[in-house]
Structure 1
Amino acid sequence: MSTMNNISELKPFKSMWKVKVKIIRLWKQYSAAGGETIEMVFVDSRGDKIHGTVKKDEVGQFAHVLQQGQTKLLINFTVTHSSGSYRTTKHPYKVVFLPTTRVRICEALPYNMTGLEPVNYRAVLNGKLDPDFLVVVEVSHIEVVSVNGKDTQKISVELRDTEDERLPLVL
């Protein structure tokens, strides 16, 4: 099992995979059905991306070894179909950590491996993009501000398209 795989090679019905990936996005998510999970987007040295998830039963095992921006060697995980709306990558599958998954430190992938694929505003406005896939933007931390004497949450977003046109937003 010493062979390194590329993200493009990953497919279901096998768990003895080994990939070197950079965690380009990481967040915790909670749902009543699935509990707390760790969700990630990985990129490999070829720029291919895939979504990854750590289910609630394994969160405690992996939370301390997974950090956004780090490169890791992932060994022994499963690959399942990725479906539904609001998908983070166009890859047809996603990585799912197992209790036996190993996460190893390894040499970092280049800093500029962001996995971002800018899109043109017109493509968004004209509806030419598949609405099942998310378009990643730069997002600030949530701030708590006082509005009319009441605390409310504020987040700043800056959209930037392929021509470097910028559109600042506050939500």
Structure 2
Amino acid sequence: MSISRPFELIRDLNDSKYLWKIAVRITDIWYVQLPPKPRHMEMILMDCKGDKIQVSVKRDDFNQWREHLIENKTYVMHNFNVVHNDLQFKACNHAYRMQFNVGTTIKDRDFPDIPQCKYEYKKFGDILAGNFQTDLLVGELFCFSLYISILTYLLIY
């Protein structure tokens, strides 16, 4: 008989502890190169509830993980750092983000209950009223662009 810790949800991740176990899908993965620094990897993870969190894989761990992490695949992840999401521009609205460390482990595992994607639409009234995060890149950037287009249209006509 095997006793295993249950999976935690992304919405519950915070900096109060170091031992986390999550089941996630990588919904987006990209590489960042800011010369003269070496490249690092960024990802968006989503759990079975559709909650998302941004992940950074720093340059020291980049080579270890880049071949093992594939967009749209599901994984079990253990032992990573959870830090405040203090980035200038955020890819998720989660208050925290994850960072891989030396003790991080991942395992390929099929989780059909984790959706391929989840869309988060803004209400048109919220866009017109300016009720959106200006530092959120995914979706909100489009909303801001749409907001400016609507205002321009209303001023011209």
TM-score band by shorter chain is 0.7 to 0.9
Give me the whole-angstrom Cα distance separating, in 2, the residues matched to 1:111 and 1:11. Answer: 21
After superposition, what is the alpha-carbon deviation per residue over 1:99-130, rounded to whole angstroms, capped at 9, x for unaligned? Answer: 22111011234474413212356644653211
Q: 1:108 aligns with which of 108, 111, 128?
A: 111
Bigger proportion of residues as helix: 2
TM-score, structure 2 normalization:
0.77
Bigger proportion of residues as strand: 1
Structure 1 unaligned spans of 5+:
138-160, 162-171
Give me the whole-angstrom Cα distance separating, in 1, the residues matched to 2:91 and 2:102. Answer: 24
- The question of whether the paired residues in 1 share the 8 Å contact of 2:18 and 2:79 is answered with yes
Q: Which residue of 1 aligns with 2:155?
A: none
Q: Which residue of 1 aligns with 2:150?
A: none
- 3-state SS of paired residue (2:56): strand
Query: RMSD over aligned Cα, in angstroms?
Result: 2.5
Range moving further from structure 2, 84-93 or 33-42: 33-42
Structure 2 unaligned spans of 5+:
141-145, 147-157
- The question of whether the paired residues in 2 share the 8 Å contact of 1:13 and 1:78 is answered with no
Change over 3 Å in CA distance of 1:107–1:42 after alignment to 2: same
Matched, 1:96 2:99: yes
- The question of whether the paired residues in 2 share the 8 Å contact of 1:22 and 1:109 is answered with no
Give me the whole-angstrom Cα distance separating, in 1, the residues matched to 2:126 and 2:38. Answer: 36
Q: Which has the higher contact order (CA 8 A, sep 6+)?
A: 2
Range moving further from structure 2, 36-45 or 121-130: 121-130
Number of equivalences: 139
TM-score, structure 1 normalization:
0.71
Q: Which residue of 2 aligns with 1:156?
A: none
How high is the sequence identity, in percent, across the aligned residues?
A: 25
- The question of whether the paired residues in 2 share the 8 Å contact of 1:88 and 1:133 is answered with yes
- The question of whether the paired residues in 1 share the 8 Å contact of 2:24 and 2:114 is answered with no
Matched, 1:14 2:17: yes
Matched, 1:27 2:27: no
Which one-letter code corresponds to 1:75 in the other structure?
H
